[in-house]
Amino acid sequence: MDNRAPGLRGLPRRQRWRYVALAGTLALGVFLAVNLAPVVVGLLTADTATQVQKEAEREADGRLPPFTAEVAYESYGASGTNFPDGTSIVLDRVLTADEQTRLTSLDFRDERFHQKVWELLEPLGARVVTLPSKVVGAPPGKGNSARTFQLRLHSDRARELSIVDLRATVEECSPPTARTVVSFASGGSAAIQGVVWYLASGVVVPLISDEDAPHAGEPFFRYHQIDLGDGASPGALRVESVADKESCSWHVDATYTDTEGTHGPVRHDGKPFSTEAVPQNPHLRFQVDLGLSGGLPWLCSGAVATGRCTFTPST
């Protein structure tokens, strides 16, 4: 021991062992401090680090759009589905005499009549406008044409949120541009299950459109909400947007709630939606006369250049 610790020479043996024990204790303390300090510090700061990470994830989650909106328009004609009663097909140009004759030569008794009409008109730039559905409490005289689609709402946020209001905000309206209208006779429109917006009425809240549903004709979100986020399946609504004498473009604005309160209105990403009005007195109008009231099966008005019509005065 004297060679290993020469400074202890001359001290009594008991005292020398005390110094050795003290030195060992100090060395062990230094070893433990150097090696265990990070562990202790980690344990002491673990809760803080977890909280910081959760806060960072929460902020990143909050930067995601609260919802995305996808629209799937109902398709007819090309899909083999007949047009509903009261449907109008509109074009921004006048049909030529040859195109008029080809149209009025189609026989409505042919099982592919609807498809053949669409196959003729769709390449010419035709668009489909449907008749508004019957809705309890609908504003009188506030719509002559409609566009129906599936509105699907989805959220990538980890937190749950609920859409509690969804409004159509009209951007602008303008006179209809269609010059040719081809119509299918109407036996009266039926109710649909979903919501309806009357773009020209000033009523921008969605109304319950199914006349057999509870609270028909009342604001949809007075009784319902759409839950999104946290991996929830997309919420879907069948939406009918109704135009009157003018075609309108519009946006969807949503108000939603989450654990932090109520937010919005928040506008959907993307281009505005559009709903087209049917002109009251187009340059050309063709309508199938399913009643065959003593004449040719097509009722026509305007500057028609074919003789295969039963002519009616313009309204």
Residues 6+ apart with CB under 8 A from 168: 197, 199, 204, 206, 241, 250, 251, 252, 273
Same domain for 28 and 175?
A: no
Instruction: List the strands of the sheet with 310-311, edge to edge.
Output: 127-129, 88-91, 180-183, 284-288, 298-302, 310-311
Note the pLDDT tens digit of each residue in 97-126. 999 999 999 988 888 899 999 999 999 999
Number of domains in the chain: 2
Please report whether residue 159 resides in a domain.
yes
Same domain for 120 and 135?
A: yes
Among candidate residues 217, 193, 197, the one with its CA nearest the CA of residue 206? 197
Cα angle 181, 187, 190 (rounded to 5 degrees) comes to: 100
Same domain for 185 and 43?
A: no
Please report whether residue 1 resides in a domain.
no
Note the pLDDT tens digit of each residue in 217-237. 889 999 999 999 888 887 788
Same domain for 48 and 93?
A: no
Does residue 199 surpass a pLDDT of 60?
yes
Domain that holds residue 84: 64-311
Average pLDDT over residues 78-92: 83
Q: What pLDDT is stored for residue 147 in this prediction?
A: 87
Average pLDDT over residues 287-310: 79
Does residue 18 surpass a pLDDT of 70?
no
* Residue where a domain terminates, one of 14, 43, 62: 62
Q: What pLDDT is stored for residue 247 in this prediction?
A: 92
Model confidence at 70, pLDDT cuts 50, 70, 90, reads confident
Same domain for 143 and 246?
A: yes
Asked if the bond preceding 313 is cis, omega within 30° of 0, the reply is: no
Listed range (53-57, 198-202, 228-232) with the worst mean pLDDT = 53-57
Same domain for 54 and 78?
A: no
Please report whether residue 195 resides in a domain.
yes
* Residue where a domain terminates, one of 40, 62, 84: 62
Sign of CA dihedral 71, 76, 81, 86: positive
| Beta strand 226-228 pairing with 180-183 | unpaired
Please report whether residue 247 resides in a domain.
yes
Please report whether residue 169 resides in a domain.
yes
Please report whether residue 284 resides in a domain.
yes
- Which tokens belong to 267? 């506008």
Q: How far is it, in rounded angstroms, from Cα 113 to Cα 25?
A: 101
Please report whether residue 215 resides in a domain.
yes
Same domain for 90 and 10?
A: no
Note the pLDDT tens digit of each residue in 248-285. 998 888 999 998 899 988 887 778 888 999 998 899 99
Cα angle 133, 134, 137 (rounded to 5 degrees) comes to: 130
Q: How far is it, in rounded angstroms, from Cα 200 to Cα 244?
A: 6
Half-sphere exposure of 184 (CA within 13 A, CB side): 24
For the ranges 90-94, 131-135, 297-301, the maximum mean pLDDT occurs at 90-94
* Residue where a domain terminates, one of 33, 62, 91: 62
Residues 6+ apart with CB under 8 A from 231: none
Same domain for 57 and 83?
A: no
Q: What pLDDT is stored for residue 111 in this prediction?
A: 86
Same domain for 147 and 291?
A: yes
Average pLDDT over residues 145-162: 88
Please report whether residue 185 resides in a domain.
yes
Q: How far is it, in rounded angstroms, from Cα 161 to Cα 61?
A: 12
Same domain for 229 and 181?
A: yes
